């Protein structure tokens, strides 16, 4: 018995020493899978001490073991000193199968601690496994290195009961940035906003995982089997740009010195968890209080009123504070309603983070006979006991005296006479259907309506622009004599050339040339604005040359003038075809000058 006691005390002292020094040992591997022909790093990390001898790994089935060397890390964070020493080994598989790296005893200051067993699977050569094989199937490897787990502490809850929900993102050997908050489709439940994420490290089956934890509370809103739909989380995966430099590394080759100056790229990733089932129980009908308004959880209510000695018409402030665990945002505060008081609208403030909801209401006693403020009741369903509970606070003794004459309180915002009545509840529904169809139209006709509008508008605008242009033209004719002369010149010339044509058909040669020459002379006087005395051919030709009229028109002008002189003064007889040519040339000349001289 004595020996046993001594041993117990000794063991206790050793454990106490380890705890006091915060010494711990763990064994980790880079991955739980390794392919034949490649190797796996195995590390034993001892926290809290340094200058240890490397632990000796016992020989075990499936692997050749080679010790690589130690590494020591010392850190000082917030004046807290910590040290850890890592012993690295290389495990080279000798055959395929599932193996366990056995527990390794590590002696620290006379105390022997052991690592946990680490399972490792050896797969055939060429199979995707571990970091070295990552580049062969990056997508699959990313999925195996990112996990999003949703957990709830229980699988049953009452309607309206808060169920804590924890979302953990596990990341292994990946650099993940720009993490969004998780998204969960709210179907059949309400949900609080997610809390700020916590970050820590966790070792699972000998593999280190970075963990980001989000937490929230969900409140089921209807009974039955509820499915919390999968949560999604978005982030950017940082990986080395394989298009540059040495491409042998792939996404996971992230040695510090080799990659420090390399070019990195971001890839957007979406991580999705599994859905979770929750059995939602209905609230029992038995024992449900009449004033129960749906509050579920555990609550406490405090109520106070002040002052409690007032004159009739003086205001009293009624304060209520509801605290506890539950969906405070959705909980309805107790309603104070009592005859003999004028009531102002309550001011309700939510502080769900602080687990508190408050109400402040001004009430005014209107009768000196009032002796108390009636008790305030709040009923809720207690999920721990599965029963309804009612909290009652009050009554509060009140002393109301009559005010002195002229000191009566005038309440603001109440119509006279003011009777406190329960708020009227109005039904809501749609207005009834129409009995008459009205004027039917073709749906296809309606579709063409826009086109018709724009066509009509375009036609109208064109018409309107035409009228406007005509107005402007008329105004110019009236106000600009030069313009009017120029416009009438061609018209007059055409008329005279028609008369000349008549003479030609009648066989009157001399009058034909007289009219032809006169038509051209008058035309040029008006069109070229020549002085009446300067209408000789030379002047006209000179002006036409200045205006850069084509040479053929100048020749025509000279030809017609010469022919007219020959007929008039030399009595020459012109053949009919020549006269017709001269008439056509004259018309051509007028048209040519009109085109050239604007």
Binding site residues, other proteins, CB under 8 A? 185, 232, 270, 428-444, 446, 449-450, 453, 456-457, 460-461, 464, 467-468, 471
State whether residue 156 is helix, strand or coil: strand
CB of 426 vs other proteins, minimal distance in Å? 12
CB of 456 vs other proteins, minimal distance in Å? 6
Residue in 361, 363, 357, 397 with CA at minimum distance from that of residue 378: 357
Between the CA of residue 560 and those of 496, 512, 520, 529, 542, what are the distances in Å? 15, 11, 10, 21, 16
Between the CA of residue 209 and those of 253, 268, 458, what are the distances in Å? 17, 20, 71
Q: Residue 33 and residue 130: Cα distance in Å, rounded? A: 6
CB of 448 vs other proteins, minimal distance in Å? 12
CB of 128 vs other proteins, minimal distance in Å? 23
CB of 161 vs other proteins, minimal distance in Å? 23
Q: Residue 332 and residue 322: Cα distance in Å, rounded? A: 10
Residue among 2 and 439 whose Cβ is closer to other proteins: 439
CB of 167 vs other proteins, minimal distance in Å? 17
Residue among 147 and 234 whose Cβ is closer to other proteins: 234
CB of 268 vs other proteins, minimal distance in Å? 9
Residue among 196 and 441 whose Cβ is closer to other proteins: 441
What is the Cα Rg of the chain in Å? 53
Residue with tokens 């129980």: 281
Sign of CA dihedral 252, 255, 260, 262: negative
Residue among 153 and 445 whose Cβ is closer to other proteins: 445
Residue among 199 and 449 whose Cβ is closer to other proteins: 449
Q: Residue 270 and residue 179: Cα distance in Å, rounded? A: 10
Residue among 148 and 541 whose Cβ is closer to other proteins: 148
Buried b (16+ CB within 10 A) or exposed e, 322-343: bbbebbbebbebbebeeebbbb
Q: Residue 532 and residue 536: Cα distance in Å, rounded? A: 10
Residue among 201 and 444 whose Cβ is closer to other proteins: 444
CB of 435 vs other proteins, minimal distance in Å? 6
Contacts (Cβ under 8 Å, ≥6 apart) of 365 = 310, 312, 313, 314, 316, 340, 341, 398, 400
Residue among 266 and 349 whose Cβ is closer to other proteins: 266
């Amino acid at each position: 018995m004595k020996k046993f006691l001594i041993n117990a005390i000794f063991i206790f002292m050793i454990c106490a020493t380890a705890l006091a020094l915060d010494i711990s040992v763990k064994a980790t591997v880079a991955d739980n899978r390794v392919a034949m022909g490649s190797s796996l790093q195995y590390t034993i990390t001892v926290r809290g001490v340094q200058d240890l001898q490397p632990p000796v790994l016992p020989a075990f089935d499936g692997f050749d073991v080679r010790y690589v060397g130690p590494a020591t890390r010392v850190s000082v964070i917030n004046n807290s000193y910590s040290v850890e020493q890592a012993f690295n080994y290389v495990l080279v598989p000798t055959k395929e199968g599932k193996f366990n790296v056995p527990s390794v005893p590590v002696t620290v200051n006379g105390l022997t601690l052991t690592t946990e067993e680490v399972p490792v699977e050896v797969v055939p050569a060429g199979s995707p496994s571990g970091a070295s094989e990552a580049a062969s199937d990056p997508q699959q490897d990313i999925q195996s290195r990112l996990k999003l787990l949703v957990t709830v502490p229980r699988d049953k809850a009452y309607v309206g009961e808060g169920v804590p929900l924890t979302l953990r993102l596990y990341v292994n050997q990946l650099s993940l940035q720009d993490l969004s908050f998780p998204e969960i489709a709210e179907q059949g439940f309400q949900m609080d906003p997610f809390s700020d994420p916590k970050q820590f490290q966790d070792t699972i089956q000998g593999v280190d995982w970075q963990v980001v934890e989000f937490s929230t509370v969900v409140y089921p809103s209807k009974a039955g089997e509820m499915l919390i739909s999968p949560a999604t989380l978005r982030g950017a995966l940082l990986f080395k740009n394989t298009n540059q430099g040495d491409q042998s590394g792939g996404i996971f080759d992230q040695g510090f010195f080799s990659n420090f100056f390399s070019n990195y790229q971001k890839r957007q990733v979406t991580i999705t968890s599994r859905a979770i089932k929750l059995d939602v129980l209905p609230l029992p009908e038995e024992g449900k209080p009449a004033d129960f308004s749906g509050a579920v959880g555990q609550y406490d209510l405090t109520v106070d009123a002040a002052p409690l000695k007032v004159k009739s018409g003086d205001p009293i402030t009624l304060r209520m504070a509801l605290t506890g665990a539950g969906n405070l945002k959705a909980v309805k505060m107790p309603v104070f309603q009592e005859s003999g008081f004028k009531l102002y609208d309550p001011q309700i403030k939510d502080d769900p983070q602080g687990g508190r909801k408050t109400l402040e209401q001004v009430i005014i006693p209107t009768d000196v006979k009032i002796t108390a403020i009636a008790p305030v009741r709040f009923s809720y369903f207690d999920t721990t006991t599965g029963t309804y509970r009612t909290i009652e606070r009050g009554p509060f003794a009140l002393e109301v005296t009559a005010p002195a004459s002229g000191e009566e309180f005038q309440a603001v915002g109440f119509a006279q006479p003011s009777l406190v009545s329960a708020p009227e509840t109005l039904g809501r529904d749609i207005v009834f259907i129409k009995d008459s169809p009205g004027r039917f139209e073709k749906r296809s006709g309606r579709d063409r309506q826009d086109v018709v509008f724009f066509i009509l508008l375009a036609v109208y605008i064109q018409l309107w622009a035409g009228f406007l242009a005509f107005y402007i033209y008329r105004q110019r004719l009236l106000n600009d004599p030069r313009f009017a002369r120029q416009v009438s010149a061609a018209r007059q010339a055409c008329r005279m050339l028609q008369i000349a044509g008549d003479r030609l058909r009648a066989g009157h040669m001399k009058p034909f040339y007289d009219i032809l020459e006169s038509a051209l002379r008058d035309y040029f006087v008006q069109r070229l604005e020549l002085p009446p005395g300067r209408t000789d051919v030379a002047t006209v030709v000179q002006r036409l040359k200045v205006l850069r009229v084509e040479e053929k028109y100048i020749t025509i002008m000279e030809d017609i003038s010469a022919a007219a002189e020959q007929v008039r003064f030399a009595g020459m007889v012109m053949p009919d075809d020549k006269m017709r040519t001269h008439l056509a040339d004259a018309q051509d000349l007028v048209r040519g000058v009109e085109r050239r001289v604007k």
